[in-house]
Amino acid sequence: MSTSFLHSFQSEWLKTRRSLAAWLVIIGGFFLPFIMLVGRTVYHEKTSAESTSPLFWENLAGQCWQFMALFLLPMGVILATSLITQIEFRNNAWKQVHTTPQHFYTLFWSKLMVIMVMVVQFFILFNIGIYLAGAVPALLLGTVDYPSQPFPFMYMLKTSGRFMLDILPVVGLQYLISLQFKNFFVPLGVGIAMLMLSLVMVEWKYGYIVPYTYSPYNFFELRGSAMSGSKDVNIHWLALSYFAFFTVLSFVLYISKKEKG
Amino acid sequence: MHTIEAIGLTHHFSKEIPVLENIEMRVREGSIYGFLGPNGAGKTTTLRLMLGLLRKQGGEISIFGKPFEKHRTELLSNIGSLIESPTVYGHLTATENLTVWQKAYRCPKNRIPEALRLVGLHGTGIKKAHQFSLGMKQRLGIAAALLHQPSLLVLDEPTNGLDPGGIIEIREMLRNLNREEGVTILISSHLLPEIEKLATDVGIIHRGKMLFQGSLASLLLRQHQASRIAIETSDNAAALQLLAGNGLDPRIEAGCINLAAAEKPAIADINRKLVQHGLDVYRIATVEDDLETIFMNLTNQ
């Protein structure tokens, strides 16, 4: 990694400090696990019985991922990607950014890298949240035992890795649109429309052509009830391909912009 | 040597109306170049082209003797700029804002407090930039432009939003940077008095065309050459006839006779003739156009 990229990344990362996107990652990462934690604490009799299950963590993760995969993860990524990219438009900063001695490609990739790191950060927080949702009731309530099953790190890593792959097309397209349009509502509107479309198309046998469907498809696969739209295709490769396509297109459009601030 | 040299700069936003037409601009090394023009004259477009914020359509731009497009990042590392309104990340403090640029310019961290002190923002602490007044934001924008100690400063209307005290402070600061550190400054403004107090060289642009370019001294000479004599007598009509009969070109304007400027003996001779013809002379004065009038005359041509 060249030093210019590293400096550019540090500069971009600093811009996210106290930003709405940064808060979104933290709140979004802990939101569902917190609800699960509250639920498990309130209904502690049921919780106590679940703690002995040999698939305790898989079941808990499955419950958390259910809402996350279908709506919150794509929505969070739509918002975070758009918010981070729009920091420059919102602060009238493109003109200043583009008069710093940084190559356009360095700027493009460092900004994208910041988004990717934030997505990874979100997954880490979400997994920590799942762990806390499982472990904390035992610490708070004397009547609930600590889960007997050891925390399945590899399973959690693999699951998160797949969702990470499947959400990449959303990052790619949102990044592309956010770089092109000054108005925040354009990327947000397109993102919400695509998300709604994906929820409608997910049951269609060719639903895999919609790049926002892979996260729901992955969830159904995880649950063991793969949808017809994802049965005959490798959605992870498709997700990667869409991401590569959107990113290259986004880069070409960004580089060839006539007005840079 | 010229720090900036723009030749034949032409730009269109739409096919019909050119925003810039064949602009020639030469900014001498070590000068303070005042780029003057009314709003919408093409100043900002010219500056944006020079900094690569607009894709060049026609002409050549070289900075520090090198073509801008081929040496963009190398040249930008030595240029500080403030184009239109200042760039301020509202959710960050002044120090954090400058840290963003310190990383981008890869300059020493100790420049941040120095730059903040220079513009009088060193006491802002944890206050977020969105809470700053317009003047404070402007100062922060100037601090960002100065952060990496550039050899060339490109400032587009840098005193916008500053109070009179702030304007004087910034002017003094720019003058010191120019004198003590040899920084070349290209400063645009639509306010003539501001440029008059600071610039060594002046360029006047109007409707995308460069109307004047040269030293402030040559503009002042032009001002002197455009001066005239105003005469007030007991009978201006008779005086007008008399002076016209003596090969002069007098005109009556605002109750006075106006003549082209003349040497002292010629003025004494005019006075003598008027008195000899029984006319009382109440006033003879040399009237010089101020720079504003010259600017207005140039831009109204």
B152 forms beta bridges with B79, B184
Beta-strand relationship, B152-156 and B79-82: parallel
Which of residues B101 and B118 earns the better pLDDT score? B101
Which pLDDT belongs to residue A47? 78
Q: Which residue of B has its CA nearest to A257?
A: B55
The shortest CB-CB distance from A91 to any of B76, B81, B87 is to B87
What average pLDDT does this structure show over B232-251? 91
CA–CA min distance A27, chain B (Å): 18
* Predicted complex ipTM: 0.89
Buried b (16+ CB within 10 A) or exposed e, A71-102: ebbbbbbbbbbbbbbbbbbbbbbbbbbbbbbb
Below-70 pLDDT ranges, chain A: 1
Tell whether A36 is covered by a domain: yes
Which pLDDT belongs to residue A226? 76
Q: What range does the domain containing A180 cover? A: 3-255
Which pLDDT belongs to residue B153? 97
Which pLDDT belongs to residue A50? 82
Tell whether A238 is covered by a domain: yes
Tell me: pLDDT of B114 over 90.
yes
> Residue A14 and residue B55: Cβ atoms within 8 Å?
no
> Residue B91 and residue A93: Cβ atoms within 8 Å?
no
The shortest CB-CB distance from A18 to any of B74, B84, B91 is to B91
Domain(s) labelled CATH 3.40.50.300 in chain B stretch across: 2-214
**Residues of chain A contacting B92 with CB distance shorter than 8 Å:** 14-15, 17-18
State the Cα–Cα distance between residues B52 and B132, nearest whole angstrom: 29
**Residues of chain A contacting B55 with CB distance shorter than 8 Å:** 258-259
What average pLDDT does this structure show over B162-183? 91
The shortest CB-CB distance from A101 to any of B48, B76, B99 is to B76
Sheet of strand B66-67: strand arrangement: B18-28, B2-12, B58-63, B66-67
Contacts of B102 (CB under 8 A, 6+ apart): B108, B109, B111, B112, B147, B148
CA atoms within 13 A on the CB side of A189: 5
φ, ψ of residue B163 to 5 degrees: the values are: -80, 165
How many distinct structural domains can be found in chain A? 1
Tell me: pLDDT of B160 over 90.
no
Q: Which residue of A has its CA nearest to B72?
A: A101
The CATH architecture to which B2-214 belongs is 3-Layer(aba) Sandwich (3.40)
φ, ψ of residue A77 to 5 degrees: the values are: -70, -40
Sheet of strand B152-156: strand arrangement: B79-82, B152-156, B184-189, B32-36, B201-206, B209-215
State the Cα–Cα distance between residues B171 and A157, nearest whole angstrom: 59
> Residue B103 and residue A14: Cβ atoms within 8 Å?
yes
B54 touching A (Cβ < 8 Å): yes
For chain B, the average pLDDT equals 91
Nearest to B4 by CA among B36, B45, B51: B51
Residues of A with CB under 8 A from a CB of B: 3-4, 7-8, 10-11, 14-15, 17-19, 87, 91-93, 95-103, 258-261
> Residue A11 and residue B83: Cβ atoms within 8 Å?
no
> Residue A97 and residue B103: Cβ atoms within 8 Å?
no
State the Cα–Cα distance between residues A229 and A193, nearest whole angstrom: 20
Tell whether A261 is covered by a domain: no
Nearest to A173 by CA among A163, A159, A188: A188
**Residues of chain B contacting A97 with CB distance shorter than 8 Å:** 87, 104
Percentage of chain B beyond pLDDT 70 is 98
Give the CA dihedral A231, A235, A237, A239, nearest 10 degrees.
Answer: 160
φ, ψ of residue B108 to 5 degrees: the values are: -60, 145
Beta-strand relationship, B2-12 and B58-63: antiparallel
Tell me: pLDDT of B297 over 90.
no
The shortest CB-CB distance from A91 to any of B53, B89, B105 is to B89
> Residue A17 and residue B76: Cβ atoms within 8 Å?
no
Which pLDDT belongs to residue B184? 97
Which pLDDT belongs to residue A140? 84
Reported as a pLDDT band with limits 50, 70 and 90, residue B31 is very high
Contact B200, B32 (CB under 8 A): yes
What type of residue sits at position A158?
A: K
The shortest CB-CB distance from B89 to any of A93, A95, A103 is to A93
The shortest CB-CB distance from B105 to any of A17, A101, A258 is to A101
- A vs B, Cβ pairs < 8 A, gives 82
B87 touching A (Cβ < 8 Å): yes
Which pLDDT belongs to residue A51? 82
Nearest to B153 by CA among B178, B179, B171, B170: B178
In the block, tokens 């739209």 appear at A229
CA–CA min distance A14, chain B (Å): 6
Q: Which residue of B has its CA nearest to A106?
A: B104
B132 touching A (Cβ < 8 Å): no
Look at chain A and count its residues. Answer: 261
Tell me: pLDDT of B301 over 80.
no
Contact B97, B144 (CB under 8 A): yes
Q: Could you give the angle at the alpha carbon of A243 between the alpha carbons of A241 and A247, nearest 5°? A: 120
Q: Which residue of A has its CA nearest to B70?
A: A103
Task: Determine the residue among B12, B47, B87 to mutate to test chain A binding: the one whose Cβ has the most chain A Cβ atoms within 10 Å.
Answer: B87
Q: Was domain B226-300 assigned CATH 1.10.10?
A: no
CA atoms within 13 A on the CB side of B237: 0
φ, ψ of residue B27 to 5 degrees: the values are: -105, 115
Which pLDDT belongs to residue A45? 79
Nearest to B48 by CA among B68, B77, B70, B26: B68
Which pLDDT belongs to residue B291? 64
Nearest to A96 by CA among B82, B115, B74: B82
Neighbours of B224 (CB within 10 A): 11
Buried b (16+ CB within 10 A) or exposed e, B45-76: bbbbbbbbbbebeebebbbbeeebeeebeebb
CA–CA min distance A17, chain B (Å): 7
Contact A81, A87 (CB under 8 A): no
B134 touching A (Cβ < 8 Å): no
B206-219 pLDDT, tens digit each: 999 999 999 998 98
Tell me: pLDDT of B292 over 80.
no
The token pair at B9 is 């700069």
Sequence-ordered strand ranges (E) for chain B:
2-12, 18-28, 32-36, 58-63, 66-67, 79-82, 152-156, 184-189, 201-206, 209-215, 228-233, 251-253, 256-260, 281-287
What average pLDDT does this structure show over B117-137? 92
Tell whether A260 is covered by a domain: no
